[in-house]
Amino acid sequence: MNRKQQFKEGLITNNPVLVQQIGMCATMAITTTLFNGVGMGLSVLIILTCCNVVVAALRKIIPDEIRLAIFVVVIAGFVTIVDLLLQAFIPALSAALGVFIPLIVVNCIIIGRAEAFCQKNTVKDSFFDGIFQGLGYTCVLIIMCVFREFVGSGRFGGGLIDIANGFRFTLDGTGGGIQIFPEEFGASIMNLPFGGFLTLGLLIGLMQYALKKSEKKKKAAEHAAKEAALKEVEE
Amino acid sequence: MNNKIVKLSLVLFVICAITAGILGIVNALTWERIDQITHQKEYEAYAAVLGSESGYTEVEFDKAAFPTVDSVNQSNDGNGYVVTSTFSGAQGSITMACGVGTDLRCTGISIIEHSETSGLGAVAASTSSAGEAFRAQFVGQDEGIALSKAGGSIDALAGATITSTAVTNATATSIKCVASLG
Amino acid sequence: MLANILSISLGAILINNFIFSQFLGCCPFLGCSNKVDTAAGMGLAVVFVMGLASAICWVIDNYILIPLNLAFLETLAFILVIAALVQFVEMFLKKSVPSLYSALGIYLPLITTNCAVLGVVLLNVQNNYNFIESVVYGITGGLGFMLAIVLFASVRERTQFSDYPECFEGFPICLVSAALVAMAFMGFSGMKIF
């Protein structure tokens, strides 16, 4: 399988959130600071990759009738492992994401990829699929976080970047971020549920616009090529 | 048919058992650390509101009269009490530690757990300058503590009146609870 | 006790509405809100399953997992209970209450992956609710979900007649209108029963 193709699919043409339109609950709920977004994205990426590999490895032994039950058990297992590890080593992230970490179990992205991709593909392909789809998910989260944080509180990289004591990355969520304009001028409604729905709506709208445009371009190019070929024949 | 069902349940059972086993191992490796972190957070909150060199001892209080109070801990140094309480804020419950000196004045507050809106109510718990300034107002207040719009001297956080009111009320309750100990 | 239950109910239905303030259950919310009828059917099924799941999971958590020190298996146990529960409810309804089955049947399988159901069970644990509080939270949370989805379906039926940019076709326009409904629900925040 073509890795470049897979990469492009995960990030753009078959992006889990923007094109497949699944796994939206967490996308809207936790994207208030960059720290949450990156943490959630990477957690999903790790869980997705592990689940993909395990499901692909077991695909020949899993009986068809109970495959969904087995997928769910495998996913719940990995989610709990990540949950426990986060609680032990990055407690700030686990506190910030709260119930949305265990809820990755019912995130349609993971069960969707297991069902649609890993059942029919080799371990290696599934591994890369997990990484690219996870990256696509993380990118969307990051875009949403940056936008909501900037408009909502005039900040960039809250929790993740600390500039008070020289520029450095903080893993315990204590960094103040880079204040671009004073917090009082921010539209704090963007930090509320309203902002979540609106930002995701605009982002998907933008994506549909871009996809349609590139499709039109492709069609026009094809059309032009055909015309040119016809002309050549005529001549 | 029956054979098939037995086989299917066996496969499912084996997978569940393996998963549970792996989780057990991970849990055994991490629980000590998680436990430590939880306690450390509590102790840090206690120390932030009322310094004590020799630790704290939990004391009995009238739970029926103060339903939101979780525990009252007397400082072994004899300089006051730390009251932890859980009450509802704007989005969910807030757990807070409140230090009360022997003169029945607040020595400081620290929010241990909350689920307030990021950027609004959550400022009350944040380490930002606005959060520090908000919490600093509580030091030295007595049980008549109130928001400035209710005739007191606590300035509410911008856009988070509900959170501010809840924290202020909980501080008053904590002081009253200590007062009731006599 | 009664005041407590009332405040949990009010919180679950209006103030901390599962969809508009906690973002739990957004997938079925956007997927099943084309028509008011379907939305009401989905809502009813969710109320039913959420109430049952809260009750059963509370019993399992407090009488099996916690005494055995297996609290770390909560997520795994809960999702299996919910999946099995949905299956049983489906079989039971099919056999004994066919009229209800024909109304709810097609929505039931979708509920397993509804994060509102797993969410309510996990929140019950997180908030340390007792049995009655858990069941009340489950049912009223479901009612809040139903209120949101029915209200939103009526809004969505209207968007069909409005003139929006072509690229907003489908999900984007739904999300933008959901944002406006969410703003209306913000008005409830801070309401309290004393």
Interchain proximity A152–B119, CB inside 8 Å: yes
Write out chain C residues lying below 8 Å of A72, CB-based: 79-80, 83
Q: To the nearest whole angstrom, how far is the Cα of A6 from the nearest Cα of chain B?
A: 30
pLDDT: is C100 or A32 the higher one? A32
pLDDT at residue C105 tops 70? no
Confidence bin at B130 (pLDDT 50/70/90): confident
More confident call, A134 vs B39: A134
User: Phi-psi region for residue A119, left (φ > 0), alpha (ψ -120 to 50) or beta?
Assistant: alpha
Give this prediction's pTM: 0.83
Q: How many CB pairs below 8 Å do chains A and B form together?
A: 70
pLDDT at position B42, please? 78
As a whole number of angstroms, the distance between CA B106 and CA A78 comes to 45
With residue A169 as reference, give the H or E element that holds it.
Answer: strand A168-169
Would an 8 Å CB–CB cutoff place B93 in contact with chain A? no
Q: Which of C75, C54, C51, C77 is nearest to C64 (CA)?
A: C77
Looking at the DSSP bridge assignments, the partners of residue A161 are A169
Question: What confidence tier does B123 reach under pLDDT thresholds 50, 70, 90?
Answer: confident
The minimal CB distance from B19 to the residues C16, C76, C190 is found for: C76
pLDDT of residue C5: 83
Interface test with B, best of A165, A190, A191 (most B CBs within 10 A): A191
Nearest-CA neighbor of A94 among B100, C35, B15, B37?
A: B37
- Higher-pLDDT residue of B114 and C141 is C141
User: Does position B135 have pLDDT exceeding 80, yes or no?
Assistant: yes
Tell which A residues from 162 to 201 touch C, by Cβ distance under 8 Å. 189, 192-198, 200-201
pLDDT, tens digit (0-9, with 9 covering 90-100), for B17-30: 999 899 999 988 88
Q: Which residues pair with A178 in a beta bridge?
A: A156
Burial grade of A98 (CB within 10 A; 0-12, 13-18, 19 or more): middle
Tokens, residue C158 = 């209207």
How does DSSP classify residue B77? Answer: T
Residue C193 has pLDDT above 70, yes or no: no
- Chain C partners within 8 Å of B16 (Cβ): 76, 80
Please list the pLDDT of chain A residue by residue as tens digits (235 residues).
Answer: 678 888 888 888 888 888 888 888 888 888 888 888 999 999 999 999 999 999 999 888 888 878 888 888 999 999 999 999 998 888 888 888 888 899 998 888 888 888 888 888 889 999 999 999 999 999 999 999 999 989 988 888 777 777 766 677 777 666 677 888 887 787 878 888 899 999 999 999 999 898 888 888 888 888 888 888 888 877 7
- Return left, alpha or beta for A124; rule: phi > 0 is left, psi -120 to 50 is alpha, else beta: alpha
Work out the minimum CA distance from C162 to partner chain B, whole angstroms. 33
Main-chain phi, psi angles of B97, to 5 degrees = -105, 135
pLDDT digits (tens, 9 = 90+) for A203-223: 999 998 988 888 888 888 888
Min Cα–Cα distance to chain B from A229, Å? 59
**What's the order of all strands across the beta sheet hosting B56-59?**
B56-59, B69-75, B80-88, B93-101, B106-113
For tokens 């509590």, the residue is B42
- Whether A77 sits inside 8 A of B118 (CB atoms) is no
CB neighbours of residue A77 within 10 Å: 27
Does B115 contact A at CB distance below 8 Å? yes
Which pLDDT score is estimated for A77?
Answer: 93
pLDDT in tens, B148-160: 888 888 888 877 8
Handedness of CA C83, C89, C90, C95 (dihedral sign): positive
Strands (E), C58-180: none
Q: Region C40-58: what's the mean pLDDT?
A: 90
| Both structure tokens of A61 | 């032994």
Model pLDDT, residue A166:
67
The reply to whether residue B162 touches residue C73, judged by beta carbons under 8 angstroms, is: no
Distance between start and end Cα atoms, chain B: 74
Strand, coil or helix: what is B26?
helix
**Phi, psi angle pair for B98, to nearest 5°:** -125, 125
From C113's Cα to the closest Cα of chain A, the distance in A is 5
Identify the DSSP state of A114: I
* C30-39 pLDDT per residue, tens: 877 778 888 8
pLDDT of residue A25: 82
Q: Do B33 and A69 touch (CB under 8 A)?
A: no
Please tell me the predicted confidence (pLDDT) of residue C52.
93
Which of C30, C169, C179 is closest, CB to CB, to A208? C169
Q: Which of B59-68, B110-119, C88-97 has the lowest mean pLDDT?
A: B110-119
- What is residue A22's predicted lDDT score, i.e. its pLDDT? 81
The partner residue sitting opposite A84, judged by closest CB among B16, B27, B159, is: B27
Is B14 a residue whose pLDDT tops 80? yes
Answer whether C103's CB lies under 8 Å from A130's CB: no
Provide the mean pLDDT of chain B: 84
Distance from CA of C130 to the nearest CA of B (A): 15
Contact across the interface for A77 and C76, Cβ inside 8 Å? yes
Residue B119's pLDDT is what? 66
Nearest chain A Cα distance for residue C26, angstroms: 5
Chain C CB contacts of A88 under 8 Å are none
The pLDDT, as a whole number, for residue A134 is 93
Nearest to A146 by CA among C171, A138, A194, A96: A138
Tell whether B40 lies on the interface with A, counting CB pairs under 8 A.
no
Contacts of A121 (CB under 8 A, 6+ apart): A1, A56, A129
Q: Comparing C-alpha atoms, which of B112, B72, B76 is closest to residue B94?
A: B112
Which pLDDT band, with edges at 50, 70 and 90, does C138 fall under? very high
